[in-house]
């Protein structure tokens, strides 16, 4: 895909000052243009569906719909759209979930003024943008995988593997119940069994295992 010039950007954050700051940094560059803004995740999805938008920058924590949920929906409905997640939290869980929902990168707010331009250009070239701590997390993940780790696919039943995939993709228990035509209680029971079998404690860890085992694409 050829890179448009300028790149039209959607900036979505529930804080007006953050949106304004990003606009100032981005529009100082001749190849980047903030076309539209959004104050929550649902508005971000609505505006991000426009074919005039080439890149969406989504805050992880937004009302109505989180940035991760918005990214998943936009990736499903507009797979050609490039997406960056923006967050104040340097947490592996969010980073791996961002990969799982189709984001090209994860930018920390505290370093956004230095990193956001590079992240935008990398995303438009089809390259991932990784901040230093994220690189450490990926390296650790690779080492754990190289050592063998836990074999998710052999430890779980076919139904449990289905549920792992859906959880890692960000679906709620209610959504999983509807998709698999089972009760929410059954989903909860499967979920508890999965986490017990794998010795995991939160969805971020499960997402990492799902990516390693090829149940979802990074």
Indicate whether 128 and 188 sit together in one domain.
no
pTM over cut 0.85: no
Indicate whether 134 and 165 sit together in one domain.
no
Query: What is the rounded average pLDDT for all residues in the chain?
Result: 83
* pLDDT tens per residue across span 108-129: 888 888 889 999 998 998 887 7
Helix or strand run (H / E) with residue 149: none
Residue 39: closest CA among 63, 74, 3:
63
What percentage of the chain's residues is helix, strand, coil (to nearest 5)?
55, 15, 35
Domain range enclosing 111? 7-138
Indicate whether 91 and 187 sit together in one domain.
no
Indicate whether 83 and 16 sit together in one domain.
yes
- Tell me how many domains the chain contains: 2
Indicate whether 36 and 67 sit together in one domain.
yes
Is pLDDT at 83 greater than 90 in this prediction?
yes
CATH code, domain with 185: 1.10.10.10
Q: What is the pLDDT, as a whole number, of residue 10?
A: 97
- In this structure, is residue 1 part of a structural domain? no
Indicate whether 175 and 125 sit together in one domain.
no
Do residues 15 and 37 lie in contact, with contact meaning Cβ atoms separated by under 8 Å? no
- In this structure, is residue 205 part of a structural domain? yes
Indicate whether 121 and 23 sit together in one domain.
yes
- The pair of three-digit structure tokens given for residue 109, joined into one six-digit string: 């707010």
Residue 171: closest CA among 95, 73, 29:
73
CATH code, domain with 64: 3.40.50.2300
* pLDDT tens per residue across span 143-157: 454 444 444 455 678
């Amino acid at each position: 895909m050829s890179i448009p010039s300028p790149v039209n950007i959607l900036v979505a954050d529930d804080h007006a000052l953050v949106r304004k700051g990003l606009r100032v940094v981005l529009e100082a560059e001749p190849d980047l243009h903030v076309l539209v803004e959004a104050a929550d995740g649902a508005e971000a999805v609505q505006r991000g569906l426009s074919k005039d938008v080439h890149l969406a920058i989504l805050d992880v924590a937004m009302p109505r719909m989180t940035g991760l949920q918005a990214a998943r929906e936009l990736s499903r409905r507009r797979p050609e759209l490039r997406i960056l997640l923006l967050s104040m939290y340097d947490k592996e869980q969010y980073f791996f979930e961002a990969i799982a929902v189709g984001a090209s990168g994860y930018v920390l707010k505290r370093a956004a003024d230095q990193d956001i331009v590079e992240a935008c250009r990398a995303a438009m070239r089809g390259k991932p943008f990784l901040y230093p701590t994220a690189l450490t997390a990926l390296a650790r993940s690779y080492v754990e995988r190289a050592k063998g780790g836990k074999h998710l696919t052999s430890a779980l039943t076919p139904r449990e593997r289905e549920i792992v995939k859906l959880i890692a993709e960000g679906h709620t228990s209610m959504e999983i119940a509807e998709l698999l035509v089972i009760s929410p209680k059954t989903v909860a029971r499967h979920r508890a069994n999965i986490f017990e079998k794998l010795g995991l404690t939160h969805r971020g860890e499960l997402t990492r295992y799902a990516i390693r085992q090829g149940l979802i694409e990074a």
